Structure 1
Amino acid sequence: MERRADELGAAAPAGPVLGEAAEAFLSRDDLDPATSRSYGQTLRRLRRTLGDRQPLASLTADQVTRVFTTTWGEAAAATWNRHRAAVRSFGTWASLDDLAAGLDRRAGTRPRARPLDPAQLDAVWSLPDLPLREETLWRLLYESGAGTTAVLSLNVEDLDLDDRRARSLGAWVSWRSGTARLLPRLLAGRTRGPVFLSDRRPGPARTPGASDLCPDTGRRRLSYERAEYLFKQATRPLDPARDGYTLRRLKPPHRDR
């Protein structure tokens, strides 16, 4: 047993490791909550694939390229570039060689989303057994014309229910009567934390930062990926292609986001 303990001690990595460095990087005061969440998605994938005990000094651009190719090889340009920017920022902070050296920036080719027409919107609002959270989120996206990230970043304490507006990511998000009718029911007396919450509490290994956790319920902020998935699943029967609509199509036709 002593020999085994010596072997384990000898195998312990010298210097900082990936998991610890990622936590330190994301906990910086100069990162706003939205950026921290975005960067955290990228670094969580690296940590899961390479391991938290990966010595930081041995992390290479080739390893990062393999993770990106496997995980986001078929992703849209915007998604690929967002993860690429995150790993570049992390590498610069950690004083490593360019971790994105093997990752070319992709040109955006996604066509502009066509807003749902009035008949399609009526069908969305008429979906049976529509959960309160989804109905409120979709109404707010439509009435405000704001981006999904900005709306999901809203906190209860930032809402001005009387004036029907809130500040998010440096811009105002305003809404109309449909959202105003739903918001008080969704909040149910909550005064702090994210407006839109996940269905369940996170496990011990996936606890988010305090800014993304509701202090009253213990649930985390609803993610963009989950919100998009639920909208596509709910609208699949309404879509002639049976793919389901994307949240970007809730944009009012007369507004720019």
Structure 2
Amino acid sequence: MTLAPVEYAVAVEHYLGTLRLAEASRRVYRIALATWAWSLVDRPPPEGRARRGAAPPIVPLALLDAPDAPHRLSAALAHRAAVADPRTIGRELSILRGAIAWWRTRGWITGDPLRGLRPPPGQASESMALTPEQVEAIFALPVPLREKVCWRLLYETAAPIERLLALNVDDLDLGRMRVRTPHESHRHGTAPRDRSRAATAAQTRRQAGTASGGRSQAGTSAPTGPQMGTASRTGARAGMAAGAGPQMDTAAGVDPQMGTAARTDPQMGTAAGTDPQTGTASRTGPQAGTAAGTGQEAGAISEIRWRPGTARLLSLLLVGRAGGPVFLTERRAPSGTAPRDRCPVTGRGRLSYRRAAELFTTATRDLDPEGHGWTLRHLRSAGPARP
């Protein structure tokens, strides 16, 4: 047992110091734990963007051992369930459980105020279907272009919101109003590298032909034309004949062979979006790479299509942008963010699921007859399976 800190906020920092987290994840943990502090003094936490920068009240850690602590936390959970997505509620409750368990092992508190407390069993309104009039009211809201595009894309495609947030600019085929297939994404994202390899291979073949005595002797020593294509695919023998070394088979794998090379090169897989750190804000973790068109779920992503109205808005959103996430945050990404998860021009990061859900619920609160606001899943389930 060590001496317990007096303040809840200090105990939070001690706990966070024991966790091996990326800076973005550490910020999410800190915000979640700070949100619970408001409930311990019977004050509602700020909502929306104000929650991030709000200074939590100074709360004694000992309040977690108070007899009414379970009741206060239960009331806070019910309040959060009314304004946040069930997935967010479950994550925030899990974060607090982890902190309380660690504080108890240190002897800083003795009781468990969360004993028996469970997330609400999928809010009853979650299964409620939005009417066409309500959907139109959502699309008429005065919100930034980013939200307009995100909401319409979700409604028209019925794709999981996590997959849409995982998309990068080069994943989109704007002319055909769809997401590229995995094969197209690899070719689109790695074309410069493929062209470079093709040019290198061509130069190697020319040098090989010259060294072997020019075109007149090419048929014997360094096959060119159709023979060259055959020889270059025979592996080491072609490499020896052309003087290109063991790299010849790979370098010459262009034209009919290039597609295979681009798909099997491990480095190209990484460049195409399988970095495990994708999804700074949120779509953090390996889901980002899968959602963007790699892995087992890529088939579903290749079927994402949208309608002309969304296409016009999407073109406006992407003006001047050749790469990076489709949906960006308002601020620059933290240092250490994977290149795939930040805009190469502005440095802004990828919009997280948590933030996107929070924005939608806040914006639709006045439209919801119950005054809670709807979730992104409401909007997704209201749309057609395909445009």
* TM-score where L is the length of structure 1: 0.59
Unmatched segments (≥5 aa) in structure 2 = 1-16, 34-63, 65-69, 95-114, 181-289, 292-297
Give the deviation of 1:121 after TM superposition: 0.9
- 1:196 aligns with 327
> Take 1:192 and 1:108, find their aligned partners in 2: how far apart are those partners?
40
Structure 1 residues 155-194: aligned runs within 5 Å? 155-166=168-179, 169=291, 170=298, 171-172=300-301, 173-194=304-325
> Does the 8 Å CA contact 2:155/2:383 hold for their aligned counterparts?
no
Deviation at residue 190 of structure 1 after TM alignment: 0.6
2:364 to 232, 235, 238: 235
Is the 8 Å Cα contact of residues 115 and 248 (structure 1) preserved in structure 2?
no
Larger helix percent: 2
Distance (Å, rounded) in 1 between the aligned partners of 2:92 and 2:163: 16
Distance 1:82 1:174 in 2: 34
Aligned partner letter, 2:341: D
> 1:251 is paired with a residue of what secondary structure?
helix
Q: Per-residue CA shift, 1:151-201, capped at 9, x if unaligned?
A: 111100110112222156122222112211111100112111100001122
Runs of 4+ in 1 over 2 A off after TM superposition: 40-46, 73-84, 106-109, 111-115, 207-211, 252-257
Is residue 115 of structure 1 aligned with residue 129 of structure 2? yes
Aligned-CA RMSD value: 4.0
Q: Aligned partners of 1:108 and 1:256: how far apart in 2?
A: 28
Using the alignment, how far apart are the partners of 1:209 and 1:18 within structure 2? 24
Show structure 1 runs of 5+ residues with no match. 1-16, 24-36, 50-65, 85-102
**Which of 139, 146, 162 is 1:133 aligned to?**
146
Cα separation, 2, equivalents of 1:175 and 1:223: 22
- Cα shift at 1:22: 4.3
Match of 2:375 among 246, 252, 257: 246
C-alpha displacement of 1:44? 6.1
How many pairs does the alignment contain? 190
Provide, for residues 217-251 of structure 1, a one-character-per-residue CA deviation record: whole Å limited to 9, x for no partner: 11001111111121122111111111111111112
RCO (CA 8 Å, sep 6+): is it higher in 1 or 2?
Answer: 2
Deviation at 1:209, TM superposition (A): 2.6
Identical positions, percent: 42
2:349 alignment partner, SS class: coil
1:108 shift after superposition = 8.7
CA contact (8 A) 1:143 1:252 kept: no
